[in-house]
Structure 1
Amino acid sequence: MCVFRSCATVFVPLLLAAVAPSVVALEATPDNDRFDCRLLTTEPTPQTARDWYELNLWAGHCYRYDAHAVRIGFDGVRTLVISHEVNDGVERGRARFLDGPPEVFERRSRIGRLGWAEGGSAPTIPAGIAAKISSHYRLSLAGEERIANRRAYRLDISPLDSFRYGKRLWLDAETGLTLKQSLLDETGRAVETFQLTVLERPRLHQGEVSIDAPREAPRDAWHIGWLPGGFSPQPVETHSGRHGSDVTHRLFSDGLSTFSLFVAPLGEIEPLAPGLHRLGVSHAVVRHRDLDGTPCQVVVMGEMPPRVLLRVADGLSWAAEDS
């Protein structure tokens, strides 16, 4: 397993989510299995920062479009083209880089849920994510600007503690789609910016988008000892051809910030150097731990303050130890 190479597969789905994030108190209840995008045409113009963010989340699911974009990050400036479609209720996002190494990434998905079912239905992302992040971030509108030759409203999302990074979004006044996004570190400095230069033919999907069915949580042999407030395990499919069957990958999110956890027996993988590693705007913590007599490699990776990733990695324990 080379976890660091998987950064591209982690980044691009998030990059696609920057333009098509995953939520407005519309009638998408946990019992529904589909959301009708045409309901967006009946909603009044958002008035508050939270209203705009909710519209942004719905728009990311419901608009079909093509776009040209630029990413300014640790590796300089890269240009790409992006598309988002909805077919038979399933979303398909595609990103193709136009310079540097030839790379194409695709994501097929449904509207997700905020957690595992745990014996019942888990709330959908569109029904709960805006309320969830309001507990850990301050949302505020900062005026009108022009991005990609379109009117945009700037939305500042500032963390209420030191456990997560902030973001700044520029939302299209007509559709609510993200036209520009900056990731802000603890000092408020933009460490990475993603921006559309052209948004072509945005059109509302005249139909429904599927909502993912509730999923039962897997049984892991280890236990997370500490998580920042608001973070919870995400019910997403994390199997990958890049990782062997003995590698466990779990995803954790507070609705805005996300990190990955990998656990693998050391005898089955190529070990990585223990310690803290910088991966562009992300960090990765590598630990070699003995879990119930089995030497394992633990990797915690994400766009998070390093001390948070270190604490998560060091708090991992074998489930049997807790009992």
Structure 2
Amino acid sequence: MRAIPLLALLLSGWFAVPAHADEAQDWLKRLGRAEQQQSYQGTFIYERNGSFSTHDIWHRVQDGQVRERLLQLDGSAQEVVRVDGRTQCVSGSLVAGLGNSPGASAQVLDPQKLNSFYTLAVIGESRVAGRKAVIISLAPRDQYRYGFELHLDRETALPLKSLLINDKGQLLERFQFTQLSTQAPDERDLQPGKDCKPLSVSSQADDVPAAQAWHPSWLPPGFQLVRSTTRKDSRTQAVVNSQMYEDGLARFSLFLEPVSGEAATESRVQLGPTVAVSRRMNTPQGEVVATVVGEIPLGTAERIALSVRSGPAPEKP
């Protein structure tokens, strides 16, 4: 059966069938287990904003530890090595968005939570990289997030293909395997290249900065603060606070930084699915720039940025 366009399903009311939702939740549970338990290696393409890149991936699960290595095959060699979702080293300037590539996220999907903000359904079957797949649709229940279409391997539930789709049914981003093997990669395949440089650890600020007291007074339903970090910029010595929010699938980050003079201006930028909205604010302590970055609709990012207020920071759930 060919994949049914997401927009057509939205209009048809197909998602209202409970059996399809239950089956979709079961597949998402399998997906969550597969990425933490299944070793694999392969090649995938990444499409964004009309451009393509090709990547090799090695993903090995051993003794409860997940190790993986990504290598871009086009142009100059660009690489990232991760252990249990934590980046160990990088080379080059990897294409923005690869943080959501197959196997890249330590995020565990909670189908019951997702069902509150996305309509889940099994919408057909496909064949990707020579393997049979089942197609899962996650259609947003509001205008604050994008829709997803996942093609999961029938044998392992690994994601063979992932599409990010806006409210007009337009494709914003694609991951798609062209070759996949479930054989565990060799140790040598997981070793970083000589140009893969360890990440430097930023020094953490000792005292709580004014920026950390800023937070969005409005969030799309379901989004929660999952991480907040504070560091000192080694060049300017300014204290920068970053906050990550997610709804169990989509994510965005809020960066808060004190500025002076013409150091930063307000902006609205969109590149494919990724948006960056900056707002400059005057405070008794000086000027602060709040920047929202993530794969969310531009209107959502703008509303979040406009809602940023000072006061007690929201507690981490």
TM-score between both structures, scaled by the size of structure 1: 0.69
Give the match's secondary structure for 1:48: helix
Which of 40, 44, 50 matches 1:69? 44
Report what 1:121 is aligned to.
none
Structure 1 residue 139 corresponds to structure 2 residue 120: yes
Q: 1:65 to 1:292 in 2, by over 3 A?
A: farther
Match of 2:64 in 1: 89
1:55 and 2:48 are equivalent in the alignment: no
Instruction: List structure 1 runs of 4+ shifted beyond 6 angstroms.
Output: 236-245
- Alpha-carbon separation, structure 1, partners of 2:229 and 2:80: 16
Question: Is the contact between residue 153 and residue 172 of structure 1 (CA under 8 Å) also seen in structure 2?
Answer: yes
Does structure 1 residue 255 correspond to structure 2 residue 255?
A: no
2:307 aligns with 315
Gaps of 5+ in 1: 1-45, 112-123, 204-217
Q: Secondary structure at the match of 2:182?
A: strand
Alpha-carbon separation, structure 1, partners of 2:73 and 2:148: 26
Alpha carbons of structure 1 residues 60 and 238: separation in structure 2 relative to 1, 3 Å: farther
Query: Identity rate of aligned residues, in percent?
Result: 31
What is the Cα deviation at residue 272 of structure 1? 3.8
Given that 1:64 and 1:84 are in contact with CA atoms closer than 8 Å, whether structure 2 keeps it comes out as yes
Which digits, 9 at most, give the CA deviation of each residue in 1:168-216, with x for residues without a partner? Answer: 000000000000000001112111111011112346xxxxxxxxxxxxx
Q: How many residues align?
A: 250
- Residue 228 of structure 1: aligned partner: 220
Instruction: Tell me the CA shift for residue 291 of structure 1.
Output: 3.8
* Match of residue 89 from structure 2: none
SS in 2 for 1:61: helix
- For each residue in 1:254-295, what CA deviation from the matched residue of structure 2 results, as whole angstroms up to 9, or x when unmatched? 011111111111149x83431211233211001111244221
Aligned ranges 1:1-323 → 2 under 5 Å: 48-74=23-49, 76-109=51-84, 126=108, 129-202=110-183, 220-235=212-227, 246-267=239-260, 271-319=263-311
Distance 1:189 1:84, change over 3 A: same
Are the aligned partners of 2:228 and 2:241 in contact in 1 as well (CA < 8 Å)? no
* Distance in 2 (alpha carbons) for counterparts of 1:304 and 1:242: 30
Deviation at 1:109, TM superposition (A): 2.4
Structure 2: runs of 5+ lacking an equivalent = 1-20, 87-105, 185-206
Higher Cα radius of gyration: 2
After superposition, what is the alpha-carbon deviation per residue over 1:87-144, rounded to whole angstroms, capped at 9, x for unaligned? Answer: 4433223211100343112332269xxxxxxxxxxxx964x72111110001111122
For the structure 1 residues 229 and 73, does the alpha-carbon distance in structure 2 shift closer, same or farther, using more than 3 Å as the test? same
Shift in CA distance, 157/242, structure 1 to aligned 2, threshold 3 Å: farther
Partner Cα distance (1:67, 1:80) in 2: 8
- SS of structure 1 residue aligned to 2:110: helix
SS at match of 1:313: helix
Q: Are the aligned partners of 1:144 and 1:153 in contact in 2 as well (CA < 8 Å)?
A: yes
Greater shift, 270-279 or 54-63, is seen at 270-279
Give the TM-score normalised by the residue count of structure 2.
Answer: 0.71
1:3-46 deviation per Cα after TM superposition (whole angstroms, max 9, x unaligned): xxxxxxxxxxxxxxxxxxxxxxxxxxxxxxxxxxxxxxxxxxx9
